[in-house]
Amino acid sequence: MALYAAGHPSTAMPINKGHSTQSRDGVLALGTRIGKERWMRAPLGIALDMNKSFRLQKSSVRLSYFGQFDGLAGMERGRVDVSSRGVAALRVRAGAEPVVTEKTPPKRKMPGENKGFVEEMRFVAMRLHTKDQAKEGQQDNSLNPVAKWEPTVGGYLKFLVNSKLIFDTLEEIVDKATHPSYALFKNTGLERSAALATDLEWFESQGHKIPNPGPEGTSYAELLRNLSETNPPAFICHFYNVYFAHSAGGRFIGKQVAQMILDGKELNFYKWDGELPELLATVKEKLNSIAENWTREEKDHCLEETRKSFKFSGDILRLIVT
């Protein structure tokens, strides 16, 4: 059977199955063969549009649309499939009126999606690092590297007390578990509040006055409490970034600062009971399990919160050099 996209069928030339040809008046003829040598000609009566798909109730004849393309995509009955080269293939029933439907766009894959949602969060976070901090970093190196910092004990204490407020807040939220998923993160081994309390007691025993948390910490703690009640995906973003960033770059910064102003003393803030990689892997698995129940929209919303998390954490980190 030969089918025609438009124009008068008498002007088109017969074509072999799965191939196309141009008629003398420029009309694209589409067709296939019935039997061995027998051809039937009938106009399709519609213009083919690559932005539409053509679906019929029952199919017995295969119709392929090439236009300026070549190659043919595989297809399923009653549906249109588009290959990577833009070729559409569809099935029609002789004499039936086609039903035109909108073509569904292919699902967009996010970087790291195949490895779990934590990998998606990690990818976004890495892009917010500077090029010196991470190979995936895309931010300008506008901040001095840690090696060029001039930290003070007073500034470091501000950083520690504000950090403690954030970890206190996170642990309180998890303990109350106003959202059922938060309960998964009780006693993960990543908790830092008790370790920070011990470190601050040591500083006090050395004659240093312990300051109160400043606006950098109090404003962030308030945001975390609000998000935990109203926006769980956004809260999970902050939870992930605070804990995982401290276990990576945070440890490096702590070591550098200790060498500069504490004669190399390692604080409890940077020590964990148990193997840290194993603790992180367990939490990572739980984060992935929670995200499996989220829609793509909720996941994207979580990822969008990463920049805000970096902003608040960065404000607290910069207290070291005040």
Do residues 55 and 127 both lie within one domain?
no
Radius of gyration for the chain, computed over Cα atoms and rounded to the nearest angstrom: 31
- Check: CB of residue 23 under 8 Å from CB of residue 29: yes
Domain end (from 77, 102, 127)? 102
Q: Please indicate, yes or no, if residue 108 is contained in any of the structural domains.
A: no
| Short-list 201, 192, 322, CA closest to 251 | 192
First CA to last CA across the chain, in angstroms? 82
Is pLDDT of 227 > 60?
yes
| Short-list 292, 163, 287, 284, CA closest to 235 | 287
Do residues 248 and 122 both lie within one domain?
yes
Do residues 155 and 303 both lie within one domain?
yes
Q: Please indicate, yes or no, if residue 275 is contained in any of the structural domains.
A: yes
The confidence band for 243, taking pLDDT boundaries of 50, 70 and 90, is very high
| Short-list 84, 21, 92, CA closest to 62 | 92
Helices 306-317 and 153-176: crossing angle in degrees, nearest 10, is 140
- Token pair for residue 313? 């954490």
- Token pair for residue 61? 């004849």
Do residues 39 and 139 both lie within one domain?
no
Do residues 24 and 118 both lie within one domain?
no
The confidence band for 219, taking pLDDT boundaries of 50, 70 and 90, is very high
| DSSP secondary structure letter of residue 130 | B
Bridge partners, 65 (sequence order):
88
| Short-list 228, 245, 223, CA closest to 173 | 228
Do residues 281 and 250 both lie within one domain?
yes
Do residues 165 and 301 both lie within one domain?
yes
Do residues 129 and 91 both lie within one domain?
no
User: What CATH number should be reported for the domain holding residue 152?
Assistant: 1.20.910.10
For residues 254 and 45, which has the higher predicted lDDT (pLDDT)? 254
Q: Please indicate, yes or no, if residue 297 is contained in any of the structural domains.
A: yes
Encoded amino acid at 105, one letter: P
The confidence band for 16, taking pLDDT boundaries of 50, 70 and 90, is very low
Do residues 228 and 287 both lie within one domain?
yes
Measure CA 261 to chain center: 39
Helices 232-245 and 276-291: crossing angle in degrees, nearest 10, is 170
Is pLDDT of 295 > 50?
yes
Bridge partners, 102 (sequence order):
52
What's the pTM?
Answer: 0.66
Ranges 5-9, 96-100, 141-145, 305-309, most confident: 305-309
- As a whole number, mean pLDDT of residues 45-58 equals 38
Burial class of 4 by CB neighbour count within 10 A (0 to 12, 13 to 18, 19+)? buried
Dump pLDDT digits (tens) for 124-176. 999 987 666 656 655 666 556 666 889 999 999 999 999 999 999 999 999 99
- As a whole number, mean pLDDT of residues 116-128 equals 95
Determine the Cα–Cα distance for residues 305 and 242; give it in Å rounded to an integer: 12
Domain end (from 42, 75, 102)? 102
| Domain containing residue 26 | 2-102
Q: Please indicate, yes or no, if residue 55 is contained in any of the structural domains.
A: yes
How many residues in total does the chain contain?
322
Determine the Cα–Cα distance for residues 241 and 128; give it in Å rounded to an integer: 12
When divided into structural domains, the chain yields a total of 2
Q: Please indicate, yes or no, if residue 107 is contained in any of the structural domains.
A: no
Determine the Cα–Cα distance for residues 133 and 142; give it in Å rounded to an integer: 12
Q: Which residues, in sequence order, are CB contacts of 204 under 8 Å at separation 6+?
A: 210
Do residues 269 and 302 both lie within one domain?
yes
- As a whole number, mean pLDDT of residues 173-199 equals 98
Please report the pLDDT score of residue 114 as a whole number: 79
Domain end (from 102, 129, 153)? 102
Determine the Cα–Cα distance for residues 233 and 91; give it in Å rounded to an integer: 43
Dump pLDDT digits (tens) for 84-107. 334 333 333 344 444 444 555 656
- Token pair for residue 168? 């206190």
Encoded amino acid at 317, one letter: L
